[in-house]
Amino acid sequence: MEKNEYTSGVTAAALDEIRLGLSRMRKLLELLGDPQDQLKIVHVAGTNGKGTVIAFLKSVLCQDPKRKVGVFTTPAVFTPYEVLSVNAKNITARRMRALTEEVNAVCEKHFPKEDAPSPFERLTAKAFLYFAREKVDIVLLETGLGGDLDATNAYETQSQLCAVLTSVGMDHMDFLGDTTAQIAAHKAGIFREGRPVILGKNIPADAMDVVRKTAGEKHCPVIESEAYLGKTAKIKLAMAGRAAAENAACAYACLQELKKAGFAIDEAQIRRGLAETALPGRFEILPVKGRRDHVVILDGAHNLPAAKSFAESIKSDWKDYKKIIVCGMLKDKDYPAVLRQIAGTAPDVVYFGATRGKRGLAAVTLAEEFEKLEAVKTCRIRRFGSVKQAFSEAISEAGTMQGKVLVAALGSFTFLEPLRKTAIEGMKS
């Protein structure tokens, strides 16, 4: 992925520099003229599914060409400019550079170096500025980490249309807590007085208690998206995997609240928008040229709930296939839990690749942990210096195999861009 000084904060690596708290962000926004006060926001939090729900919402809302839809979602996976878009068009490099220079100048003038806004805080400020100047009708806003103390939460109640909590699971425990109840408390911090709250299906009981208590204290109407699963089940979605239907139901519920708020959205637009939604790297299925019985799946699943959904989809829909799994992970993730889910898919071969950077994890560490599992005694294991190398070797081995063959890669969004490029180039050759 192209990166430069003007795209700081867009990737998962920005987590290394995360600093929760709203004081810096509020001061920065005030110095920029409080652009967030000009916006109407759908705020989306959750352990998994945030980006997918936003993609569904964007697809439906953009069915009306007269409506301006702003989207802020992180981390960037394929291009640094995908984090900011209006009507499905990414911000230009020139516009990103101008906004970066403007925000950085304010930071350098008004903040001491030791307490300057983080890259993600600056990126969020750029998002609010961009959308305000574009005069968008609605902003689909994804939290960066948690909710209550996340930079995206620095706006007043009047700016929020509704909040969506897609799911709650164990991830980022070093920041958010050791239980799903503690994690839920942070995520429910995006709820605003009297504003509707849409809840996804995958929220454990202890987390649900916290969420409902917070919603009750703030007099928020609560809508459970599970009630809309019957509606979305009748729509043939372009997106695959078990989680897609659940996230579509979440989006459907949100759209009903937006209709109540005055947005003109009809059922035909909803059905068409949900059906057409595609999001690369989220259980994305890619064909293999010349081999109808071979398939590649790319998924950013990097925690237990996402890996469980991945595994359930593989076991249900690809059970008759020989399976080659490619995996790389970051060391601050619960990789033993993810590996147990991989083992449950009964893979024939697992290719482990090392990840780089401060949060990188060696392939040998993953392999040694995987080898402890009783379920994988007959599974071949290979180790590589990078996930890209592991994926390329997996594709090569699959090419020598007869019958139905699945190559599925998971573990992080950080390496999906080169893997997808490799898979697509293979489709062209």
pTM attached to this predicted model: 0.93
Enter the tokens of residue 229.
């699963």
Q: What are the CA-CA distances from residue 316 to residues 170, 239, 243, 346, 407 (Å)? A: 24, 16, 13, 12, 16
- One DSSP character per residue, 243-270 reads HHHHHHHHHHHHHHHHHHTT----HHHH
DSSP state of 171: -
Query: Which residue in 378, 374, 388 sits closest to 419, CA to CA?
Result: 388
How confident is the prediction along the chain (429 residues), in pLDDT tens digits per residue? 555 555 555 555 555 567 889 999 999 999 999 999 999 999 999 999 999 999 999 999 999 999 999 999 998 999 999 999 999 999 999 999 999 999 999 999 999 999 999 999 999 999 999 999 999 999 999 999 999 999 999 999 999 999 999 999 988 777 888 899 999 999 999 999 999 999 999 999 999 999 999 999 999 999 999 999 999 999 999 999 889 999 999 999 999 999 999 999 999 999 999 999 999 999 999 988 778 899 999 999 999 999 999 999 999 999 999 999 999 999 989 999 999 999 999 999 999 999 998 889 999 999 999 999 987 878 999 999 999 999 999 999 999 999 999 999 999 999 999 999 988 876 655
Domain 5-276, CATH class in plain words = alpha beta
356 by Cβ neighbours in 10 Å (0-12 / 13-18 / 19+) ranks as middle
DSSP state of 163: E
Helix (H) or strand (E) holding 24: helix 23-31
The pLDDT value recorded for residue 376 is 82
Q: Do domains 5-276 and 284-428 have the same CATH topology?
A: no
Torsion of Cα atoms, 217 then 223 then 226 then 229, to 10°: -170
> Where do we find the tokens 């259980």?
283
The pLDDT value recorded for residue 3 is 54
The pLDDT value recorded for residue 8 is 57
Topology of 284-428 in CATH?
A: Protein-Tyrosine Phosphatase; Chain A (3.90.190)
Query: Which residue in 239, 311, 281 sits closest to 416, CA to CA?
Result: 281
324 by Cβ neighbours in 10 Å (0-12 / 13-18 / 19+) ranks as buried
CA pair distance 82, 317, nearest whole angstrom: 31
User: Which residues, 6 or more positions from 422, have their beta carbon under 8 angstroms from its beta carbon?
Assistant: 388, 391, 392, 395
Contact predicate 10/75, CB 8 Å:
yes
Contact predicate 90/1, CB 8 Å:
no
Q: What are the CA-CA distances from residue 305 to residues 35, 42, 201, 396 (Å)? A: 36, 24, 12, 30
Sequence spans of domains, the chain: 5-276, 284-428
∠ CA 50-53-240, rounded to 5°: 105
CA pair distance 225, 198, nearest whole angstrom: 6
Phi, psi at 89, each rounded to 5° = -110, 120
The pLDDT value recorded for residue 171 is 80
